[in-house]
Each structure stands twice: as structure tokens, then as C-alpha cells.
Amino acid sequence: MSLGDVEITLASHALIARLTGEIDMSNAEEIGATVIGATPNEASGVVLDLSGVDYLDSAGIYVVYGIRASLQARGQNLILVIPPESPVHDTLRLSGTGRPGETTETVDEALRAIDGPSPAHG
């Protein structure tokens, strides 16, 4: 397994952050700051693609909650991409991180869902 990394892509209305490798206390905070710092104010929200994550500890889960809170304060949405075969699927489900309506299995589904009701308004 490799240390976690994040790749940022801007779509027409959302930021796509693809996380890969291991997300743990050694890099979780930096990854979270990178995602929030790269998110334009005019974006509808962030698609956090966790399909390439091999390992996620409690620090990584905490950062997902932090990203969600930061985006909600800005009136933006967070959609998590967590395929069922992902090594972190059960970890995220059991921690309550993947809320109903905020998770999809693919980036394309997430991009369609990102324009749903704003958490600040709905």
C-alpha cells in the first residue's frame, strides 16, 4: 500500500477529489486542507472519490466529517464515491460517514447528485 494522495479535477459545477492509497493520521489533515482549499466558491460542491483508497483510519474519517462541515458552512454539497467492493466501504458505512443520499458508486452518479438540495437549504 502507498501513502495517500489526492488528485484534483474541476468539472463544470463541482470539484472532483480522487483519493488513493492510505489515508491516516500522517496525511489526512493535509489532504482535507487540499480539498477545501481547491474548492471554488462558485462550485455546487465536492465529489470525494474514495474508490482508490486502500486504508482509512479514524483520522481519515474525521477529515471526511470536517470536509462536509466546511462545505455545508459554504452552502456546498459533499458526495462520496464508495463502490461496494472498496476496501473502506464497510469502515465508512459503520462509522456513519456515508449518509443516505450522500454516497454513490461512481463519479458520474456523484456529479449528477451534486446539484441536489443544498444542505444549508434542504
Region 53-71: what's the mean pLDDT? 93
pLDDT at 1 exceeding the cut of 60: no
Residue 122's pLDDT is what? 40
What is the second-level CATH architecture of the domain 5-113?
A: 2-Layer Sandwich (3.30)
pLDDT of residue 43: 96
Q: Are 46 and 15 in contact (CB under 8 A)?
A: yes
Q: Which of 77, 79, 80 is nearest to 89 (CA)?
A: 80
- pLDDT, one tens digit per residue, over 14-61 is 999 999 999 999 999 999 999 999 999 999 999 999 999 999 999 999
On whether the CB atoms of residues 77 and 44 are closer than 8 A, the answer is yes
